[in-house]
Amino acid sequence: MGPYRAALPGDGGRAVNEEGHGSGSRTSPPPLRSRRLALTFEAFHDTYHRGWLRFAHLQVGDADAARTVVDLLCAQLAGGWSHALKQGNVQFYAWALLKEHIAARLEERNHRVALVETAAFASAVTRMLDVTEDRFAVLECGICLYGAIARLPERQYDAVVLRFVLGYPEAEAAALLGVKASTVRSTVSFAKRRMAKDLDIAWETQIGG
């Protein structure tokens, strides 16, 4: 899972190897609380890391940049894991931090969100608009749809991207966002209505039913 376990509080700055022992001169295992922290962070990381990476890639448009963003997120979470666990909703907290790191990366590079430039977005166009015409029609609809998605409020944007661009089922999208599946469902419904109005189409038949 990478180097992030080294940053967990309570480990005295020592990296923790797969057996739970420090990589420094001390050979005794870390305190029970530290081992538990390491295990809970590792489980959390392994559950959500791929989703964070896929979402970040869509936003920054580059695999290496996406890895950098997610590495920074994981390092921040690991370094303050005790604090994260006190937030009440760790998934929601982690998602908010991910969005902050993405925004910082885009601002630092003076880039815009790269969603429309990705292959995943082209696939989403055909799913959301049920486009069956030639490739030019798909591209033309895609550009319009991108604008509509980009203008969505942040929570609707995230839900639509996770559900339709990345193809996550409701339950998985909800887990990444730290909300209930019913919340994702209603958020997507509001987003579809908003996009349909923006695009001047009938949302019941044209945007994913």
Q: List the structure tokens of 96.
A: 């908010």
Q: What is the pLDDT of residue 41?
A: 95
* Tens-digit pLDDT profile for residues 147-206: 788 889 999 999 999 998 888 999 999 999 999 999 999 999 999 889 888 877 765 544
Between residues 117 and 82, the one the model is more confident about:
82
Q: Which residue has the tokens 């980009």?
A: 150
Token pair recorded at residue 76: 């921040």
**Contact 84/93 with Cβ under 8 angstroms?**
yes
pLDDT of residue 202: 62
38 burial via Cβ count (<10 Å: 0-12, 13-18, 19+): buried
Q: pLDDT tens-digit profile of 6-33?
A: 444 444 333 333 333 344 444 444 454 6
Q: What are residue 36's phi and psi, to 5 degrees?
A: -65, -40
Question: How many Cβ atoms sit within 10 Å of the Cβ of residue 150?
Answer: 12
Look up residue 56 and give its two tokens: 């970040």
Chain center to CA of 115: 13
Provide mean pLDDT across the span 35-47: 94
Cβ-based neighbours of 142, under 8 Å, separated by 6 or more? 116, 121, 122, 125
Is a pLDDT exceeding 80 seen at residue 65? Answer: yes
Evaluate whether 11 touches 38 at the Cβ level (below 8 Å).
yes
Neighbouring CB atoms inside 10 A of 17's CB total 11
